[in-house]
Chain A
Amino acid sequence: GAGVSQSPSNKVTEKGKDVELRCDPISGHTALYWYRQRLGQGLEFLIYFQGNSAPDKSGLPSDRFSAERTGESVSTLTIQRTQQEDSAVYLCASSLRMGNPVGETQYFGPGTRLLVL
């Protein structure tokens, strides 16, 4: 079956513009996660969804960042008034369900590489 897909693969934008990043999770996966990875660093957790709800938004770096999920499927991460420090790879992952007491594997998409000039 298809894995997690993200679009666009690459995005170059000017400082101050808004961008939307899209994630299509694996069909049937109820949990969806967004991470950010700056060059040469590990992943920073941004937000996760259980179904269409986002119980924890604490990883979002500022109020310029928002995300939504519809139909327990597609998710969109929006960054308003982009800044140069927003430049990073934005990775989306999905997992079958959340709350399994022994944890579960997250399946990652290829990421969107965002460059803010």
Chain B
Amino acid sequence: SQQGEEDPQALSIQEGENATMNCSYKTSINNLQWYRQNSGRGLVHLILIRSNEREKHSGRLRVTLDTSKKSSSLLITASRAADTASYFCATAASNDYKLSFGAGTTVTVRA
């Protein structure tokens, strides 16, 4: 079963706008990761945030983690057409090596 659930399922924005998507999970985690997938192919790792971290930045990406609410958010600032993709959150449980993925958020950036 999938542990993470992304919200919204789909998002359409204008180039230059910010895109925000959320992820909720159910069990205690060791870390949470965000991945991007283009055209249903391989996933590209974007960012990893550990359970003792609250916020992390990487370029135009900002990830927050609230372990009390079991939720995370991914913000893409100043979006570009190339950001069009599906975004997945994946969690690694405290005593597990496996990643559990949500169903993803499909982001479309209109030029």
Q: Which residues of A contact B (CB under 8 A)?
A: 4, 31, 33, 35, 37, 39-43, 45, 48, 56, 59, 89, 91, 93, 98-99, 101-111, 113
Contact = CB atoms under 8 A, between A and B. Distances in A.
B60 interface: no
A111 B42 contact: yes
A106 B44 contact: no
How extensive is the interface on chain B, given as a class?
20 to 34
B101 A99 contact: no
A43 B88 contact: yes
A102 B2 contact: no
A59 B96 CA distance: 14
Interface in B59-111: 88, 90, 92, 97-104
Contacts of A102: 30-31, 50
Given A41-B103, A42-B104, A91 B97 contact: no
B24 interface: no
B1 to A, nearest CB: 9
B101 A43 contact: yes
B48 interface: yes
21 contacts: A33-B98, A37-B40, A41-B104, A42-B2, A42-B101, A43-B88, A45-B99, A48-B97, A56-B98, A59-B98, A91-B42, A93-B43, A103-B30, A103-B48, A103-B50, A103-B92, A106-B45, A108-B42, A110-B41, A110-B42, A111-B41
